[in-house]
Amino acid sequence: MSSPKTNVILATGGTAMVRAAYSSSNPAIGVGPGNAPVFVDSSADIALAANQIVTSKSFDNSVLCTSESNLITLTDVDKPLRKSLKNEGAYICNNNEVVQIRNYLFHPNGFNVEALGRDAVWIARECGIRVPKKTRILVTPINSIGIEEPLAREKLCPVLSFYVANSPKQAIAQSRATLRATGAGHSAVIHSQNERMILDFASRVECYRVVVNASCSLGASGFNTNLAPSFTIGTGFYGRSSLGENLGPQHLIHWTQIAYNSDPSVAFGKFNELSLSLDGPLPRSPSDGVPGSPKSRRVDTTSTSTSFSIDNVNREELRKLIAEELKNVLKK
């Protein structure tokens, strides 16, 4: 990272790696870990919320940092939410099973990497727990959220902690506590039809993405919301990062600006008939949309007939392209 040939570093991952990038003496954009709390309040569509949570948490066996990590709900929602989670393929662990999973996933040196990206049935079997073969996620009820509860930390596997709060105020406080444990600045989720509750939640949790009534894994990364599509999620000042939004092309392009005197008496130049001829060849995406093609052609920068604008990008086509690339990578 300290090589003089390095122009910019994108560091996604643990604190140590991000700090190393920032200490390299080269320009760096670092983003931190996630630990998204998801709050389901009394006004939510419980069945739909359960479907989205289980689908999101089981997606890619929860290796995405945007996956839900801690489910927080209220006393009057507890039983119907558990029932809906079971209907979607979740297995609700009993007290003994919670202990077994906690001891398996976390040891004195941190998270057990053997569980990283494993499916729910595999993890249950390693813990000595028998679950249905179609189990999609394991839900572990916990009594507290904080540094003393390992299951309140980020879990890059389909294990979702479950906490029941006595009031919305406590639920929001516990969501804040989740992010203080790890994941500050990253993402949070709320399932609610109450705009006041949504606003209170969003204004209190210390993160830069609050997903509403959608899955977090693809919501915070912009694939089923209108956030910028990206898996590089800035954690901003909360998370000790220089970037507070989803990283996009605009963060990797620097423009030269010609700045005239703002005094009205200084005439502004006439550039309408002028153009620049820049050296090439510059790479162009191939017609099939697959990056990495060895072919490139010179870009005619003298033409003024067309101009590029991020506003002209078809968001749906971009999503499909990224999804297809991810699918191809995962096949290898």
pTM, entire model:
0.80
pLDDT of residue 259: 94
Q: Which residues pair with 70 in a beta bridge?
A: 37, 161
Q: According to the 3-state scheme, what is the secondary structure of 209-255?
A: CEEECCCHHHHCCCCCCCCCCCCCECCCCCCCCCCCCECCHHHCCCC
Q: According to the 3-state scheme, what is the secondary structure of 262-302?
A: CCCCCCCCCCCCCCCCCCCCECCCCCCCCCCCCCCECCCCC
Q: Which residues pair with 11 in a beta bridge?
A: 30
**pLDDT interval class at 284 (50, 70, 90):** low
Q: Residue ranges of the domains in the chain?
A: 36-219
Given the residues 65, 93, 157, 207, the one annotated as active site: 65
Kindly report, residue by residue over 149-208, the tens digit of the pLDDT.
999 999 999 999 999 999 999 999 999 999 998 899 999 999 999 999 999 999 999 999
Nearest by Cα to 284 from 275, 297, 294: 297
Instruction: Tell me how far CA of residue 23 lies from CA of 26, 202, 243, in angstroms.
Output: 8, 33, 16
Cβ pair 155, 61 in contact under 8 A: no
The pLDDT of 39-64, averaged and rounded, is 97
CATH of domain 36-219: 3.40.309.10
Kindly report, residue by residue over 71-92, the tens digit of the pLDDT.
999 999 999 999 999 999 999 9
pLDDT of residue 63: 93
Q: Which of 53-62, 246-255, 310-319 has the highest mean pLDDT?
A: 53-62
What would the two tokens of residue 326 be? 């991810």
Kindly report, residue by residue over 214-266, the tens digit of the pLDDT.
999 999 999 999 999 998 999 999 988 889 999 999 998 888 899 999 999 99
The pLDDT of 108-130, averaged and rounded, is 95
pLDDT of residue 305: 43
Cβ pair 227, 246 in contact under 8 A: yes
Separation CA 309–CA 36 (nearest Å): 33
pLDDT of residue 286: 63
Percent of the chain with pLDDT over 70: 87
pLDDT of residue 32: 86
Cβ neighbours of residue 62 closer than 8 Å, sequence gap 6 or more? 117, 137, 155, 156, 157, 158, 159, 217
Asked about 93 being catalytic, the answer comes back as: no
State how beta strands 210-212 and 137-141 pair: unpaired
**pLDDT interval class at 320 (50, 70, 90):** confident
Separation CA 255–CA 65 (nearest Å): 31
Query: Above 80 in pLDDT, residue 121?
Result: yes
Nearest by Cα to 175 from 141, 204, 148, 217: 204
- Average pLDDT of the chain, as a whole number: 88
